[in-house]
Amino acid sequence: MTRTRTRTYFTVSAAALVALTLTASPVLAKSPPKPGPASAVLFWSQAQKESGFQAMEDYFAVHTAKRGKQVHPLPQGKPLDFTIDLGPGPISLDAYMAQEKTAGLLVLQDGKVRLEKYTLGYGPDRRWTTFSVAKSVTSTLVGAAVKDGYIKSVDDPVVRYIPGLKGSAYDKVSIRQVLTMTSGVKWNEDYTDPKSDVAQLFTATPDPGVDATVSYMRKLPQEAAPGTKWVYKTGETNLIGVLVTSATHKSLARYMSEKIWQPYGMEKDAVWMIDDRGQEAGGCCLSMTLRDYGRLGEFMRGGAMAGGRPVLPKGWIEIATTKQADTGEPGHGYGYQWWTNDDGTYDGFGIFGQRLHIDAARKLVIVISSAWPEATSRVRGATREKLIMAVVAAVDAGR
């Protein structure tokens, strides 16, 4: 994977969260949790990140995705043995995790635990926020809704399921084009600009009786024909969440519980941050344990089977996790809210160092939960690539 790939991801992910922080107070107040945007996460101190990322429900209102009665086993496999070459010389995994503020690292191969390690006070019974990896989960719930018949086709116009968008630039936009962020609707994701769309999305007063995201997005102009231009749009990920809720008449957390968490056998409940209307932000702030994070990767790697039944339509994963839109980065692209690589691997990314890496050819799932000092960092992104490369090399060598 290239350094350019890492840089582009981090820019857009920071924008996604800054949009959720504009009404923030820089003080971390523990109680009571209040509905609303993700508050001051970007302004937390390092100590606040390390404690708060593993207890987001203590600070923000959430919906809970309940686990079921059975737990999908993750048996112990052969331990991995490797060091990470950062250029000047190899360093140990312990040194890497300390340097990069990595709270949890899990490597599964063929469904077996080859590495599981925790630092920063994190542990197997705690949840950690995924930040923008939630986008990949939300898009997967669209597939479940298609399989269940709530959504007829991803080629349906999005206004069929979100009628509040009728009469807007979304009139001729399909669900598929929203999933791939190729709607052609004009959008400014510059999080340094207080007048950008990503900044205004959560501060503009919504039209009476209209969902805030829908209210804002339906006022945007069209700049390109649908399907012809890729532009990362946090607002469109939130529209996907509204779409699933509208189509299924269920909260995202409830639907995820019914389709994945219970039948697949997650070990702990998950929690999903909600706004003041009780709507989960489709693009952010889903929290789960490290092992359940790994099970989510296994769910995808194994063809999205849960309880012995397919959760997604035939062929969904192949389409969702291969390049559907050109992001301008050779060797990489964008699928259905997954970041894709031409070598067949794919990723979910979140700011402050969250990553879910899936390599189906190697039967490999890698989960990295972090509390980076910075929300975005090209240097740390490149360093993390070297960790992934070290894991892959050890797996290939049979170590």
Task: Extract the tokens encoding 29.
Answer: 């107040």
298 vs 238: CA distance, rounded Å: 25
Could you confirm whether domain 3-78+91-396 is CATH 3.40.710.10? Answer: yes
Q: What's the confidence (pLDDT) of residue 212? A: 85
**φ/ψ (deg, to 5) at 95:** -65, -40
- Residue (of 163, 393, 179, 192) closest to 283 by Cα position: 179
Q: Provide the 3-class DSSP secondary structure of residue 39.
A: coil
Q: What's the confidence (pLDDT) of residue 204? A: 82
Q: What's the confidence (pLDDT) of residue 38? A: 53
Q: What's the confidence (pLDDT) of residue 4? A: 36
Question: CB neighbours of 250 closer than 8 A, spacing ≥ 6?
Answer: 258
pTM, rounded to two decimals? 0.91
Q: What's the confidence (pLDDT) of residue 191? A: 62
Task: Extract the tokens encoding 111.
Answer: 């469904």
Instruction: Return the DSSP state at 325.
Output: B
Q: What's the confidence (pLDDT) of residue 44? A: 87
Q: What's the confidence (pLDDT) of residue 281? A: 87
State the chain's mean pLDDT as an integer.
89
User: CB pairs under 8 A, 24+ apart, for 198-202?
Assistant: 198/15, 198/16, 198/18, 198/19, 198/234, 198/235, 199/18, 199/19, 199/22, 201/19, 201/234, 201/235, 201/238, 202/19, 202/20, 202/22, 202/23, 202/37
pLDDT beneath 50, residues of the chain: 1-32, 35-37, 39
